Amino acid sequence: MSALPRWVGLPVGAVVAVGALTGVQVANGGGTYEPLRPADACVERPVTSRADGIDGLTERLVLLGLADAACQLGASREALTLELAQTGGRTNAEVDAVRQGLLSAVRQMKAEGSLPPASDLVDEALATADLNGLLKRVILALPDSVVDSALKTDDVLVRAIDDLDLRALLSDPDDQRRLEQQVEVAVTQAVKDSLVARLRGLP
């Protein structure tokens, strides 16, 4: 039996080298080194906030609402966020989905018990509210139990979301001041409506 020629080592070595390289790379995650894929918007995910009070509540509401809206539209939460970040007109489907998403977020947070009572938000809300000073002091003097029985956070939020002109709000997301003004007007009106409704409901 004649010995193999020495040059056979070259193709054999090449096949071994290429095989070993590919194997080591694939074993270490080669081939899957890709951008993070957005999670399915319809699958529930934990939503937290580093902020307290109204900011924290708003952030959680918006994140839950966005995910729900994206789920309704068949998009990812990230794709919808990027779409809404662009200035321009919104379709009816988008406006409806965002409104329903926010309302769904309120229901979800109420069911989880993660909605703060109104008394937790009053001090912060009054600090920025355009109200008479005497009236502010009177409201601040009310016991928490009175505030909480007069105002239900979920009721105020639902009324505010229904009142909001989302089409105008979403058409120019870069206009932070206009956005804050619209939200403040809607929340103030929602508080008034909620109080009136409570008074009408009294025996």
Partner 1 sequence: MRRAVAPLLAVTVAMVLADSAVVTLALPDILRSLDASVGQVAWVLIAYNLVLGLAAVPAATTLSRVQPRMFSAVGIAVFAGSSVWCATADSIEVLIAARCLQAVGGALSLVACLEQLVEEQGERRGLATWVTAGVIGTAAGPVVGGLLTQAISWQAIFVVQVPLAVLAVPAALSVASVPPADWERHRPAVRANVTLALMSAALTAALFLLVLLLVEGWGRSPAAAAVTVSVVPVAALAARPLAHLLRPPPEVEVAVGCFLVAGGLLGLAIPPSANLAWTVAPQALVGLGLGLTVDRLTSHAIGMRLPRARHAGWTIGARHLGVVLGLAVLTPVFTADLRDAQVPAQEAITALVLDAPLPPQDKIAVAQALGRELATQQGQVPDLHRAFSTLDLDPEDRPAAARLQSDLDEQLKRAATWAFRDSFIIGAGIALLAMLTLVRPPRRTS
Is residue 78 within the footprint of partner 1 (CB under 8 A)? yes
Shortest distance (Å) from residue 6 CB to partner 1:
5
Q: Closer to partner 1 by CB, 51 or 146: give it.
A: 51
Contact 106, 57 (CB under 8 A): no
Q: C-alpha dihedral over 155, 156, 160, 162, to 10 degrees?
A: 10
Minimum CB distance to partner 1, residue 124 (Å) = 14
CB 79 within 8 A of CB 105: no
Would you say 34 or 133 has its CB closer to partner 1?
34
Report the nearest approach of partner 1 to the CB of residue 189 (Å).
23
| Min dist. Cβ of residue 98 to partner 1 (A) | 15
37-56 residues in contact with partner 1 (CB under 8 A) are 37-39, 48-51, 55-56
Residue 154 token pair: 């979920």
H/E segment holding residue 38: none
Q: Which stretch binds partner 1 (CB under 8 A): 74-82, 128-136, 143-151, 183-191?
A: 74-82
Measured from the CB atom, the residue of 21 and 142 that comes closer to partner 1 is 21
Written as six digits, the tokens of 111 are 């069911």
**How many whole angstroms separate alpha carbon 88 and alpha carbon 86?**
6
From candidates 3, 11, 133, 199, binder to partner 1 by CB under 8 A: 11
Least distance in Å: CB of 57 to partner 1? 10
d(CA 191, CA 150): 10
Alpha carbon distances (Å) from 177 to 110, 172, 173, 180: 29, 11, 10, 5
